Every structure is written in structure tokens, then in C-alpha cells.
Amino acid sequence: MKLTPIAFALGTMFVSSAAFAAADFVTVDVNADGQISMEEAAVKVPEMTAEQFKAADANGDGVLSADEYAAAMAQ
């Protein structure tokens, strides 16, 4: 069975979103300080690259707020 490029891309997007969505904010925020560091994300959401983390960090403070994490998961 051949996959068209569009079907492959859609499937890849679904898998990526599902993998990120499986880890809710509270689970990823291991130290319960109300923000997610790159170190916490690397352990709990290993699929998230440093580039994706940086892109999700809308205010550039080096951590993800609940809103920033939710926005990243929605993409």
C-alpha cells in the first residue's frame, strides 16, 4: 500500500500531536513550580525537540507556562 505525501503528512501530524498531548502539563511539570523547563520536557516529552520548545516559549523566558504548553500541544 502506497501512502500519498498528503496522507503521510497528516498521519505524521496526528502522531506527533498525540504523543505531545499524552503528557499533560501537571505530569510534565515534575517539580510542580507552575512552569516546564527544557529538562522536564526532555524527560517527560522526549519527542519535543529543543527547537520546538524554544518556539513554544512565546515570551522567551526559558520555560513554558501552562498556556504556552497548551498552545504547543494544540499545533
Q: Where are the domains of the chain?
A: 24-74
Chain segment 21-33, per-residue pLDDT in tens? 558 999 999 999 9
Alpha carbon dihedral 72, 35, 64, 50, in 10-degree steps, equals -100
Residue 45 CB coordination number (10 Å): 22
**Cα distances (angstroms) measured from residue 11 to each of 34, 42, 45, 53, 65:** 32, 23, 19, 22, 28
| pLDDT the model gives residue 13 | 39
Chain segment 10-24, per-residue pLDDT in tens? 343 344 454 555 589
- The answer to whether 38 and 50 are in contact (CB under 8 A) is yes
Q: Could you say which DSSP state residue 34 is in?
A: S
Q: What is the pTM of this model?
A: 0.70
24-74 CATH pick, 3.90.550.10, 3.40.50.2300, 1.10.238.10, 3.40.50.2020: 1.10.238.10
Chain segment 21-70, per-residue pLDDT in tens? 558 999 999 999 999 999 999 999 999 999 999 999 999 999 999 999 99
